[in-house]
Structure 1
Amino acid sequence: MSEFKSVQNGLAADRVTVSFGEKFEASAQFDQVFREGMALVEEVAAYLDGAGRRDSKALKPPLSVLYATESMRLTTRLLDLASWLLIRRALKEGEIDREEAKRKRQRVKLKALGRPGHIKRFDELPEALQDLIERSFALHDRIVRLDRAVTSSEAKTGGECPDDMPVSNPVAAQMNMLRQAFGD
């Protein structure tokens, strides 16, 4: 049982809260998501200004209307995602503080309108547009998960990592249950 007490004491001593938001912003993962997001924005802009114009002119109503609707939704979605990424980067670079980031984030709407599975005749749109829409939703879903994790972490820590903040430790809870059941 001395090993048990040693592990238990080690767990109690290691109660440290880590802010996911701060760690994420400083990580290579954030840099990768940022690069991917901005590259997708540039790719969509190039498509809509180039090959997308030609593709849209070749479509007849109602597909031409669907193309216009979906390209606007795509652009809006990417603007929101780019805004989120730029806010997080500005926070990382120290250009804004957490309060300003929070205010700016509240204006960003990460809504997922027009999922491909819900769009009639989606499969009749140009393949390039379909691909860009699907990739934008993949990025959207990734950013929504990150936003929830960052927001949850910041709500729990106030954006900071206090050393004395109590942390739920499931391993310690299980160890306590074992100790109660079998004694020291």
Structure 2
Amino acid sequence: MMGMGISIAEETTKAGTESFVQSELFARTFREGMALVEETANYLDGEGRDASKQLGRDSALSYAGASMRLTTQLMQIASWLLVLRAVREGEMKIGEACDQKYRLTPTEASKVHFSSEGLPQQLVVLIDAAQQLYSRISRLDHELFVEEEVIEEKNDAVAQQRALLKAFGKVG
């Protein structure tokens, strides 16, 4: 449906996204995500900083790597949530939020499994919480945006195939 306005997939994405950003599920997810960002920042700037100074060399290196991955993952979570909040509050159009640059894309660092051995228990708890939240948000992102892109691509391919068959007189 290129050149003919908005496709069915885009309309479905927009309706689903509009419904989601207005839902209590989004509000709870937003609050949970932002609370986890704040809790982690407070921990890393306070108790975590003190705890890391008490670690041996290897554990200190593990702590640094784990805290960097955690921070990166939380930045992605916060960014995704803030984009959808902007849609909810009318500061951004759904079409803009659908842009690929706002999709949640796992980094190589977020895929790395780490050993929690020697790390402060509170850091491990924060990492687990962030990974669980990231997984949920990743599923939501896929359901709201990525699946519709696949449907649209399939529809475009079918439309192109029909046009070719019609052009060669194979379809009435």
Give your verdict on TM over 0.5. Answer: yes
Q: Do 1:112 and 1:137's aligned partners in 2 also have CA atoms closer than 8 Å? A: no
Q: Do 2:98 and 2:145's aligned partners in 1 also have CA atoms closer than 8 Å? A: no
Structure with higher RCO (Cα < 8 A, 6+ apart): 1
Residue matched to 1:82: 78
Letter of the structure 2 residue corresponding to residue 143 of structure 1: I
Letter of the structure 1 residue corresponding to residue 24 of structure 2: A
Residue matched to 2:141: 147
Return closer, same or farther for 1:110/1:92 CA change in 2, 3 Å cut-off.
Answer: farther
Question: Which protein has the larger Cα radius of gyration, Structure 1 or Structure 2?
Answer: 1
Letter of the structure 1 residue corresponding to residue 27 of structure 2: D
Residue matched to 1:129: 123
Q: Do 1:20 and 1:149's aligned partners in 2 also have CA atoms closer than 8 Å? A: no
Q: Kindly indicate whether residue 114 of structure 2 is the aligned counterpart of residue 119 of structure 1.
A: yes
How many residue pairs get aligned? The number is: 139
How far apart, in 1, do the equivalents of 2:122 and 2:54 lie? 14
How far apart, in 2, do the equivalents of 1:58 and 1:43 lie? 21
Q: Kindly indicate whether residue 36 of structure 2 is the aligned counterpart of residue 40 of structure 1.
A: yes
SS at match of 2:142: helix
Residue matched to 1:110: 106
Residue matched to 1:52: 48
How far apart, in 2, do the equivalents of 1:33 and 1:77 lie? 15
Residue matched to 1:177: none
Query: Structure 1 residue runs of 4+, over 2 Å off?
Result: 17-20, 108-116, 152-158
Show CA shifts across 1:56-110 (max 9, x none). 000011110110111011001100100000001101111011232233404x533
Letter of the structure 2 residue corresponding to residue 137 of structure 1: Q
How far apart, in 1, do the equivalents of 2:19 and 2:65 lie? 38
When normalised by structure 2's length, the TM-score is 0.72
Structure 1 segments unaligned to the other structure (5+ residues): 1-16, 159-184
Q: Kindly indicate whether residue 92 of structure 2 is the aligned counterpart of residue 96 of structure 1.
A: yes
SS at match of 1:123: coil
Q: Do 1:25 and 1:88's aligned partners in 2 also have CA atoms closer than 8 Å? A: yes
Letter of the structure 2 residue corresponding to residue 74 of structure 1: L
When normalised by structure 1's length, the TM-score is 0.68
How far apart, in 2, do the equivalents of 1:112 and 1:93 lie? 32
Show CA shifts across 1:105-153 (max 9, x none). 04x533474568x323x13200000000000000000000110111146
